[in-house]
Amino acid sequence: MKRSINAVYPGSFDPITNGHIYIAERAAALFDEVVVSVLLNPQKKAAFSVEERKAMAREALSHLPNVKVDSFSGLLVDFLRQEQSRIIIRGLRALSDFEYEFQLALMNRQLAPEIETLFIVTEARYSYLSSHAVKEIYQFGGAVHDMVPPGVFRRLRERFPLPRNILP
């Protein structure tokens, strides 16, 4: 009998961007099930609550039937064990991501040697894109509508109303 293979794609997703969606789409094409899991970290100040981040991710990934959205707190490897998964998916943009990702992957391997981190390289047009950049650009009146899905753009407008003369 064929064993089904599931993977976990963790992150802050504050908010989900088109770059994240691209990685989720590629992961969904490789695995039977992908769990996009939003980190609940009370120590890190987020622009959106976990429930809002999950709702935005769910909306943005609804075209992928084998992707589900969840959240986790505590250690990522504990969440993987709970999900009975052995694969962590992370997206890689520029070389600058590498050092942080390398450390994260080695830490997780130290904690759980049976778990593997797999990197999916982003597409060139998303290589500069991050949730942090989206929030900053938006708040200074820059155009972000082609960087995030429509539901995120709507929520950004609700969360950070801009002066009338600035219409991103």
CB closer to ligand PNS out of 11 and 31? 11
Interacting residue ranges for ligand PNS, rule: CB under 6 A: 10-12, 39, 75-76, 104, 107-108
CB closer to ligand PNS out of 25 and 101? 101
Write down the least CB distance from residue 84 to ligand PNS, Å.
Answer: 17
Residues acting as catalytic residues: 20, 44, 93, 131
Output the CA torsion sign for 92, 3, 79, 114: negative
CB closer to ligand PNS out of 75 and 143? 75
What ranges in 61-111 are assigned the alpha helix state H?
Answer: 76-83, 96-111
Write down the least CB distance from residue 145 to ligand PNS, Å.
Answer: 22
Q: Tokens for 69?
A: 């959205």
* Residue 92: partners with Cβ closer than 8 Å, 6 or more residues away: 98, 101, 119, 120, 121, 122
